[in-house]
Chain A
């Protein structure tokens, strides 16, 4: 790949990538920390989460500024244009992932003192691990400009959705079993929802990466397997 004749342009694009990577790393870290918070119920961890989120927000502002400046000054074309606009979209998604992870951690704190049903917790943990894995994969795809990897991330979101569906049913059942479980179940439900949202944002990033590399959007419809909006639990 030839380099831009104007070296500063090349450096600015590299800086953009670095920041996205930084932001991605922070998001991964946040997500991992939220998982840890869920398991270990460590209030200190929760504080760290809040700080990390602030760092992510800061990075998002920086990236946005840089993108606007580059568009005005460099008038990017073709792949540069897709790269820069893609970075803007990704940074939005990463910021949202950060927020969601922070939320999960907060909820983890909220249910810290209570006992957690093991199967449910393991379900949640599994979901977070999957989401974390997806995030990692998609960030790699971005760094490597690998459209196929992005495509597989995009497809794997179905798994998270499936896991969410089953968790949703389980939690409903759990809540129906014992009203005293509603409190914790609600938090867990919202937490699971957040993880599912993280998965969606990761899929967004995957779509952006594909467009960035290939120049056109993924042709198929996104596999939307979230059936919870139509899930009905019949009594008994």
Chain B
């Protein structure tokens, strides 16, 4: 004890100072630093969460409307002669009958008196081409209904459906003060009013004209900054137009004619609707959109001036269509219901008929192939590389290459699939089989790397214990190490499968971009997958496809959650603490 001389530490009597002011300041600085660091962490988390929330909210906002659609619930007289001519009421006849006349008749019953051919076309085009499918299915089920009047749902076409969802224009109505007298019930009608009801409108119109003139002048001024022949010509045109407009605007109240660049003005009188084409302060002249019941005079308060705020040129639905749809809404036959079609139908050119089922089944089939290929192969490869392979240059080379493969752009795998599977082996294009194999190659490196890490993480004491009892290397691995590595392997599988679910590029290369209508039934049927479907729909011009694209994204996310949820459940089940 005395041999180890108490050599004083080089610090002497200096100890960690805890009491002086500098010490306290130091401690405070340290606390502040820690608090700052924590704040950064929380800030980062919040930022991520905010982005995530915004993303999801946006997708939901855009996509949820696609899960609902509108139909008209009308009484359809099922004419025996049209559906089952000659008394033949067998399934084939019913299925192949032309239901268009039936639906047209039902529409005419709902809104009678439409004589104009153009208007009639617009009316019938409000319904989807497959509007009568429901009716047909019911007749197939119950042929006794033929000859009766069946109340059935008729699906609206995409634009009409969108009208109810998106309201492309605000509709304002104003009750009029005067007594109005129409001069006809259909065709071109002039309504005279006893009061200066339209005066205000004329003023508004003039104001709009002036504003438009100003805009044109501004445009001309802007263009005049550029030199050039064609530009000079255009400038001149604009100035002329602006002049004309200004002139019109400055002329005091006289008749004005409306064009479709201005908000639409209509008169609702006696149960009909007249679109105004010429307006003076006491009279309005226009075309009948909806026929009037009578040409009797309408008392003040019983007739209205309707404005469609958005000019017709700025919207997809015409005034006539809006008239029809609003009438349907008033009649109470426009019904909103859940769009099961979206989940049960395949793709279609008509937006209202397009469904995700084909892509869903295609994705499921493709991923199934991917899973049954890459999971066993990946795990076995990992086991071999980790446990049985000799440690030499070759295995090092393989290991490096596997790590590199995990980073290869996915489109390269698509090229590989195209060259080898389609061209060399001649497998069917667009088939889930080929897609599955290609994706399996893509995902394989991920699974191998994850499985190897999981195997490495199992403590060697377990393997030694097994060997010590006299298990062969293989028995030790498969009976003991692999079960314990399962959670890690499952994690790798989750990551891989999620990756594969969202892959688009390689599948494009092997042709899964085709427009596939039928739902695939086998692994060699042509198919498409969810991400590709989303890509295709996002490219289409119809407005309704925007909502459908977002809705497909929602379905994709749900699919992903379901897949991951299953895998996590499985992993929990197999997890064994060692």
**Residues of A in contact with B (beta carbons under 8 Å apart):** 7-8, 11
How near does chain B come to A103, taking the closest CB pair, in angstroms?
42
Interface size range of chain B in the complex:
under 10
Query: A7 to chain B: which residues have CB within 8 Å?
Result: 1, 3-4
Docked CA distance A11–B1 (Å) = 8
How near does chain A come to B5, taking the closest CB pair, in angstroms?
12
Query: B1 to chain A: which residues have CB within 8 Å?
Result: 7-8, 11
Residues from 1 to 57 in B contacting A, C-beta threshold 8 Å: 1, 3-4
Docked CA distance A8–B3 (Å) = 10
Query: A8 to chain B: which residues have CB within 8 Å?
Result: 1
Query: B3 to chain A: which residues have CB within 8 Å?
Result: 7
A and B contact pairs by CB, cutoff 8 A, 5 listed: A7-B1, A7-B3, A7-B4, A8-B1, A11-B1
Docked CA distance A8–B2 (Å) = 9
Which chain B residue has the least Cβ–Cβ distance from A3? Answer: B3
Residues from 481 to 529 in B contacting A, C-beta threshold 8 Å: none
Which chain B residue has the least Cβ–Cβ distance from A10? Answer: B3
**Cβ-closest 5 pairs across A and B:** A7-B3, A8-B1, A7-B1, A11-B1, A7-B4
How near does chain B come to A2, taking the closest CB pair, in angstroms?
14
How near does chain A come to B6, taking the closest CB pair, in angstroms?
13
How near does chain A come to B3, taking the closest CB pair, in angstroms?
5
Docked CA distance A11–B2 (Å) = 10
Docked CA distance A11–B4 (Å) = 13
**Residues of B in contact with A (beta carbons under 8 Å apart):** 1, 3-4
How near does chain B come to A78, taking the closest CB pair, in angstroms?
23
Query: B4 to chain A: which residues have CB within 8 Å?
Result: 7
How near does chain A come to B2, taking the closest CB pair, in angstroms?
8
How near does chain B come to A86, taking the closest CB pair, in angstroms?
25
Query: A11 to chain B: which residues have CB within 8 Å?
Result: 1
How near does chain A come to B251, taking the closest CB pair, in angstroms?
118
How near does chain B come to A124, taking the closest CB pair, in angstroms?
48
Docked CA distance A8–B4 (Å) = 11
How near does chain A come to B389, taking the closest CB pair, in angstroms?
47
Docked CA distance A76–B1 (Å) = 19
How near does chain B come to A13, taking the closest CB pair, in angstroms?
14
How near does chain B come to A186, taking the closest CB pair, in angstroms?
55
Which chain A residue has the least Cβ–Cβ distance from B4? Answer: A7
Docked CA distance A7–B4 (Å) = 9
Docked CA distance A30–B3 (Å) = 36
Which chain B residue has the least Cβ–Cβ distance from A11? Answer: B1
How near does chain B come to A4, taking the closest CB pair, in angstroms?
11
Which chain B residue has the least Cβ–Cβ distance from A8? Answer: B1
How near does chain B come to A93, taking the closest CB pair, in angstroms?
31
Docked CA distance A180–B4 (Å) = 69
Which chain B residue has the least Cβ–Cβ distance from A6? Answer: B1
Docked CA distance A61–B475 (Å) = 66
Docked CA distance A90–B386 (Å) = 67
How near does chain A come to B4, taking the closest CB pair, in angstroms?
7
How near does chain B come to A146, taking the closest CB pair, in angstroms?
27
Docked CA distance A6–B4 (Å) = 11
Docked CA distance A11–B3 (Å) = 10
How near does chain B come to A184, taking the closest CB pair, in angstroms?
56
How near does chain B come to A12, taking the closest CB pair, in angstroms?
10
Docked CA distance A133–B3 (Å) = 37
Docked CA distance A7–B3 (Å) = 8
How near does chain B come to A148, taking the closest CB pair, in angstroms?
32
Docked CA distance A203–B357 (Å) = 109
Docked CA distance A192–B4 (Å) = 52
How near does chain A come to B371, taking the closest CB pair, in angstroms?
62
How near does chain B come to A18, taking the closest CB pair, in angstroms?
15
How near does chain A come to B498, taking the closest CB pair, in angstroms?
60
Docked CA distance A7–B5 (Å) = 12
How near does chain B come to A33, taking the closest CB pair, in angstroms?
36
How near does chain B come to A202, taking the closest CB pair, in angstroms?
35
Docked CA distance A199–B4 (Å) = 44
How near does chain A come to B7, taking the closest CB pair, in angstroms?
15
How near does chain B come to A165, taking the closest CB pair, in angstroms?
53
Docked CA distance A220–B4 (Å) = 46
Which chain A residue has the least Cβ–Cβ distance from B3? Answer: A7
Docked CA distance A230–B3 (Å) = 59
Docked CA distance A7–B1 (Å) = 6
Docked CA distance A8–B1 (Å) = 6
Docked CA distance A234–B4 (Å) = 72
Docked CA distance A48–B539 (Å) = 123
How near does chain B come to A177, taking the closest CB pair, in angstroms?
65
How near does chain A come to B373, taking the closest CB pair, in angstroms?
63
How near does chain B come to A151, taking the closest CB pair, in angstroms?
35
How near does chain A come to B497, taking the closest CB pair, in angstroms?
60
How near does chain B come to A62, taking the closest CB pair, in angstroms?
20
How near does chain B come to A116, taking the closest CB pair, in angstroms?
53
Docked CA distance A178–B1 (Å) = 67
